[in-house]
């Protein structure tokens, strides 16, 4: 039983790390947008707001990647949980489980990701409309 518990703890630590990475990306996205809004409001160039769209899109894709990886490791956790003790091989490969999960472009449009990054992009668009170039 120790081998199974150790393997499950390894997978759980990866899941926690993916969640932490996602949390940090969201924090960086909010910080970046707030800083660029502050700069554009202080009389700096409004092009900073346009420049903010690219990092937000990159954060969006990275966050979706981490969410997909986290979900794959959750599938692996459940797969290992159902194994017998003798079958434990400490395999961390999720490629055999990736067919059970949607591809990255579908995760980009998932509700949890979309409801965070889309309002940020809309806010940037509204700010560009209010502060024309």
Q: For residue range 87-124, what is the model confidence (pLDDT) as tens digits?
A: 778 888 888 887 778 888 899 999 999 999 999 999 88
**Site of tokens 């926690």:** 16
For the stretch 93-103, pLDDT in tens is 888 887 778 88
In whole angstroms, give the CA distance from residue 70 to residue 11.
10
Two tokens at 71? 């979900």
Give me the mean pLDDT over the 48-66 stretch.
Answer: 88
In whole angstroms, give the CA distance from residue 39 to residue 33.
10
For the stretch 16-46, pLDDT in tens is 999 999 999 999 999 988 887 777 666 656 6
- CA torsion through residues 124, 129, 132, 133, sign: positive
């Amino acid at each position: 039983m120790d081998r199974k518990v150790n393997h499950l703890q390894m997978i759980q630590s990866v899941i926690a790390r993916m969640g932490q990475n996602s949390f940090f990306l969201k924090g960086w996205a909010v910080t970046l947008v707030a800083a660029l809004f502050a700069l554009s409001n202080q009389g700096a160039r409004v092009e900073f707001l346009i420049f903010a769209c690219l990092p937000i899109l990159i954060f969006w894709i990275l966050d979706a990647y981490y969410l997909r990886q986290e979900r794959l490791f959750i599938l692996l956790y459940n797969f290992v949980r159902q194994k017998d003790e003798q079958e434990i091989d400490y395999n961390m490969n999720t490629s055999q489980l990736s067919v059970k999960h949607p591809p990255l472009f579908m995760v980009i449009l998932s509700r949890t990701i979309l409801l965070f990054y889309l309002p940020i992009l809309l806010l940037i668009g509204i700010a560009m409309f209010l502060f024309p170039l």
